[in-house]
Amino acid sequence: MSKLPLEGVRVVEMSHMVMGPACGMVLADLGADVIKVEPLKGDSTRHLPGAGAGFFRIFNRNKKSIAVDLNSAAGQEAVLALIDTADVFIENFRPGRMVELGLGFEALNSRNPKLIYVSHKGFLNGPYENRLALDEVVQMMGGLAYMTGPVGQPLRAGSSVNDIMGGMFGAIGVLAALLERDRTGEGKEIHSGLFENCVLLSGQHMQQYAVTGQAPAPMPSRISAWSVYDVFKFSGGEQMFVAATGDAQWNALCRILGQDALLNDPSLATNAMRVEHRPRLLAQLGEIFATLDAKTLAVELELNGIPFAAIRKPEELFDDPHLQASGGLASLQLDDGSQTQVPLLPLSFGGKRLQPRQSLACVGEHTFEVMQSLGYGDAQIASLQADGIFRMGK
């Protein structure tokens, strides 16, 4: 792709973990020049263990890194000089932290009125606004964990869905503000709220209650809108989700399975009737599927337009034939020189995917380059490095 959509837009990012970095990643993949400001020791997300081990590498691609001591006057002056050149500023620290550093919206807007300032917080304005939040916190209080787990066993979703989606909404706000700035010439303060994001995800269940007057049951015990919409076990022990959401799919499934008796059963003539008899129907289908080979049946299901999905583990996606053939995975060089495959944004522009354009940055890898572009001389940069104000990577 010769010219990316956000080419020429400069973003300064001061964020960690997932929500803010996800916003920066979206903008960076779209072509923005994203400069991540890290503490001298580096973003602590770089070294998280366990479930957090992949956070930094997936959400910080296509970004430059500068490392600055923001507790020093010289470090603050350098970052302010950088923000003066920016179109967008991203942050996701606790409420009040940016004001303490002299980097709140009012302070930066007075210096750079065209700046779009996007904050990623646990809560938007209201009684909860000063609380700290995590993805798991808002999943518990926003209805998502209740709907995901069995009755009495709230369970968070298996990915940082709110953090990622909150970063996406931050990026959407930035895109809208950039368009508005083209008309008004003025920047805008944007807040993306983690809790409110989760409430949006639960909105369909809120409206289910509003429509039916009945409290929605958690997903494992829900009353399904469709008769065949479940995970089944096959002869080799594999599991596969199979759905037949309409009469045409039901008829096709019965034909594939050679089940004329089910097809001609008058008590199963419509989806509503099949839902009424769902426990019996699923038990019968379970017995049938348990005798069949999953891969062989999958071919027939695809040919006949019946939704299905093998149950996959995340590590198996590296070898997914569709992702491999369609370019959904791309090679990213990491900060230690090794390579990994990463999923790209689920977008194509003119039939082309948005690729990694540079290696994952080392801590402070671009400090010299960025400071030099702001008019800092080589000797001045070297002096600030010697004084422990700047850190240079590589």
φ, ψ (nearest 5 deg) of residue 26:
-60, -45
Q: Is a pLDDT exceeding 60 seen at residue 1?
A: no
Active-site option among 43, 87, 135, 163: 163
Model pLDDT, residue 393: 87
163 is catalytic: yes
Percent of the chain with pLDDT over 90: 96
List the domains of the chain with CATH numbers. 10-201+330-391 (3.40.50.10540), 224-314 (3.30.1540.10)
| Radius of gyration, CA atoms only, the chain | 26
- For the segment 323-337, what is each residue's pLDDT rounded down to a tens digit? 999 999 999 999 999
Question: Residues 361, 335: contact at Cβ < 8 Å?
Answer: yes
Model pLDDT, residue 2: 67
Model pLDDT, residue 191: 97
Dist. CA 116–CA 9, nearest whole Å: 11
* Mean pLDDT confidence for 109-119: 98
- For the segment 214-260, what is each residue's pLDDT rounded down to a tens digit? 999 998 887 788 899 999 999 999 999 999 999 999 999 999 999 99
Question: Residues 118, 88: contact at Cβ < 8 Å?
Answer: yes
- Tokens 């065949």 belong to 228
